[in-house]
A and B are shown apart, each in its own frame.
Chain A
Amino acid sequence: MQVGLNHYLAVSALLFGLGLYGILTRRNAVAILMGIELMLNAANINLVAFNRYVAPGALAGHVFALIIITLAACEAAVGLALVLAVYRNLETIHVDEINVMKW
């Protein structure tokens, strides 16, 4: 049995689901960020896999993946900086306790 596109898609879907579960259920902001990283990885797997199997000549998927990695780095930097700032001001990083923007 050859490894095909669907195999990769299945792995990425599972990884995405795990990331989403983390995001939805975790209280700790850092843990939520970790979930986001997992989801981004899932997306990257998709992109590279599509590049390999659907459009092998163009490399557009690779380029997209690289840009997403870049943006993930940005997101991690800013997100973690926000976490630090929130922690400094509110003494907690549990998102269910961070509700000062609520009515």
Chain B
Amino acid sequence: MTALAWLIPLLPFLAFGLIVFFGRRLPGQGASVAIGALLAAAVFSLLLFFRLLGGAEPIRSTINWLVLGQQPLALGIQVDALTAVMLLVVTVVGSMIFIYSVGYMHGDPRYPRFFAYLSLFAASMLLLVLADNFLFLYVGWELVGLCSYLLIGFWFERPAAARASLKAFITTRVGDVFFFAGILLVFFNLGTLGFGQTFEAVESGHLSGGLLTGIALLLFGGAIGKSAQVPLHVWLPDAMEGPTPVSALIHAATMVAAGVYMVARLFLIFFSSPDHTALAVVAWIGGISAFMAATIAVVQDDIKRVMAYSTISQLGYMMLGLGVLGYTAGVFHLMTHAFFKALLFLGAGSVIHAMHTNDIKQMGGLAKVMPSTYWTMLIGSLALAGIFPFAGFWSKDEILTEAWHNNPPLFYVGLVTSFITAFYVMRMMFYTFLGEPRWAPAHESSGHGQGTVVHPHESPRVMTGPLWFLAFFAAFIGFVGAPFLGSPFGRFVRFGEEAAVPFDLRIAVISTAVALAGMGVAAALYRWRWLSPAAVRRAFQPFSTWAERKYYFDDLYGWTVVRGTVWASRVLRVFDIYVIDGFVNLIGVVFVGLTRLYRVFDLYVVDGLVNLIGWGTKALGGVLRFVQTGRAENYLLVIAIGVILLIIGGLVR
């Protein structure tokens, strides 16, 4: 079993290596390898999951990596309930998206590379999920960030994609710095990177008070970046420049959930901070993100951007859930969201595949052309809106119930967000699938309006198959947390012995009513056209402008960070030119002066000596060369004379 657990991240990694090196020569140009590896990982995950469900002890496997001082740095993996759920989500949703990509990326010149990146991503994400220590977590964390960068910029020929990948990387990096600082603080104070030892230290009160809160907030900084929470959410909408399967896998279902997962994994640290300060911050950041992103989603016309803001909003929801002590609720929503948001993204990808545009205002009436896409997306939308009995209903209801009990103001924030969510998702559905077509069918010579000439068509089986599979989950996965079935999910994934807040029928009814109201308003505006959307938009001034300008976050960063950097670089340039260069030049001048001095010395003293020796040798050689007659008999004569002299010398003495 332990070996199985190790194999889960290893398989996709091997697939990555294989595809990188052998790419096109592999079956299906590498796609089959990637899908096979991930499906095998999914099977292993299922085995582990059922083992845990059967009441087995969580798996732990560590190796001593290196010894620092007295304490060995133990690294390893663990599979407990939370990990098992995450493993399933990543492998199952991932497999579906891999399969879908076969159709979506068909004919792309870098097709094998795409699957290589996807496999690397899956491996990193699984490592992140399996980690039982901060180091593996951080390694996985950075690796998924790298894959995100690579995949957002997969079509790097497009300047927008290249810019978006950079933006995503740099923005999340800001959060990662906090995250890393948090990890260092833990290591500095405890000398260990293991979660287990850290939790022991927290429980024994060794780590407590302001320090604990500080660590929690620093770690949460990483989650803000990775999970695109306010104020570091700006990268996620731009990340939609990547291929749609990437958006579905990384920027909806898995990687962005890593922040939420991390908070859940380290929930004890957050939970133990005095007065739940850290959790309150988590909850409020989540609430603000949820609300703000939902309002922005309302005014987006790009189908993928609607989804992107929706993702930010839903991630905020999860944070909110965790922050109001709803550990189970947050993780539950993470899981359901992974399924229905992946479904929605893949559906959107299917639409884009057919229409070659992202603009929902140039769509309309697609329901008849692409029924599979329509029906599956409808299921996804209902799940997102939180309508009974779809998946989103159960998890959202749980979060709201927790909020009602632990933090009433956030309950209202959640409720309003729920309304807006239902509204914008239905708006998108109406614009895309219903109403009159705003595109020109190919057989008409000139389209009416600004419609473009396209041939919309249903996507191939390999794409609709995963859609239906995910739609099934989006519809029914919520029942694993259904109260009337005894909330099996809550019993499986829970924090300590904390009893889940009981199901409250009133809240369920209220939240459903609010969601239905949101859908109704959307229908009134975009289906029945009782009111002109433009008039409504005007009526909500200045809020609608704020939403359109995305609450000025991008402008703010443009003014402060970007301009600040540019300004600072200008200042530094001046500093460089006058101070650094000046200093360097000064040194240069001084040395040039010194060198001149040395030159004189060299010329007249050193060279003079050398030349003197040279001349002396030459003159002496000129004289002595006449001794060398080159005739042996002369030399012999001299030798003989020498011998005579020696003998005479000997005789005289």
Contacts and interface: CB of A to CB of B under 8 A. Distances in A.
Q: Is chain B a partner of chain A in the same complex?
A: yes
B633 A96 contact: yes
Interface in A78-103: 95-96, 98-103
B628 A23 contact: no
B630 A24 contact: no
A101 B632 CA distance: 11
A25 B640 CA distance: 13
Contacts of B633: 23-26, 32, 95-96
A26 B631 CA distance: 12
A18 interface: no
A20 interface: yes
B630 A99 contact: yes
B632 A102 contact: no
A96 B637 contact: no
B637 A99 contact: no
B625 interface: yes
Contacts of B637: 24
A102 B636 contact: no
B629 interface: yes
Nearest to A99: B630
A18 B135 CA distance: 99
A102 B640 contact: no
Contacts of A20: 640
A101 B630 contact: yes
Interface string A1-25: 0000000000000000000100111
Contacts of A99: 629-631
User: Considering residues A26, A100, A103, which has the most beta carbons from chain B within 10 angstroms of its beta carbon?
Assistant: A103
Size category of the binding interface on chain B? 10 to 19
Nearest to A95: B632
Interface in A1-60: 20, 23-26, 32
Interface string B614-653: 0000000000010011111100110010000000000000
A96 B636 contact: no
Contacts of B631: 95-96, 99, 102
A71 to B, nearest CB: 19
B628 A24 contact: no
Contacts, number: 29
A103 B631 CA distance: 11
Interface residues of A, number: 14
Nearest to B621: A103
Contact of A23 (B625, B629, B630, B636): B636
Contact of A103 (B625, B632, B636, B640): B625
Contacts of A96: 631, 633
Contacts of A102: 628-631
A96 B575 CA distance: 82
A98 B637 CA distance: 17
Contacts of A103: 625, 628, 630
A23 B638 CA distance: 12
Contacts of B636: 23-24
Nearest to A25: B633
A102 B634 CA distance: 13
A59 to B, nearest CB: 29
B629 A24 contact: no
B625 to A, nearest CB: 5
Contacts of A26: 633
Contacts of B630: 99-103
Interface string B191-213: 00000000000000000000000
A103 B624 CA distance: 11
Contacts of A100: 630
B642 to A, nearest CB: 13
Nearest to B640: A20
A96 to B, nearest CB: 6
A70 to B, nearest CB: 24
A100 B630 CA distance: 8
Contacts of B628: 102-103
Nearest to A101: B630
A24 B643 CA distance: 14
A102 B630 CA distance: 4
Nearest to A97: B631
Nearest to B625: A103
B215 to A, nearest CB: 88
Contacts of A24: 633, 636-637, 640
A103 B625 CA distance: 7
B647 to A, nearest CB: 11
B621 to A, nearest CB: 9
A101 B636 CA distance: 16
14 contacts: A20-B640, A23-B633, A23-B636, A24-B633, A24-B640, A25-B633, A32-B633, A95-B632, A96-B631, A98-B632, A99-B630, A101-B630, A102-B629, A103-B630
Interface of A: 20, 23-26, 32, 95-96, 98-103
By Cβ-Cβ distance, the 7 closest A-B pairs, closest first, are: A102-B630, A99-B630, A103-B625, A95-B632, A96-B631, A24-B637, A101-B630
Given A23-B633, A24-B637, A24-B640, 6 more contacts: A23-B636, A95-B632, A95-B633, A96-B633, A101-B630, A102-B629
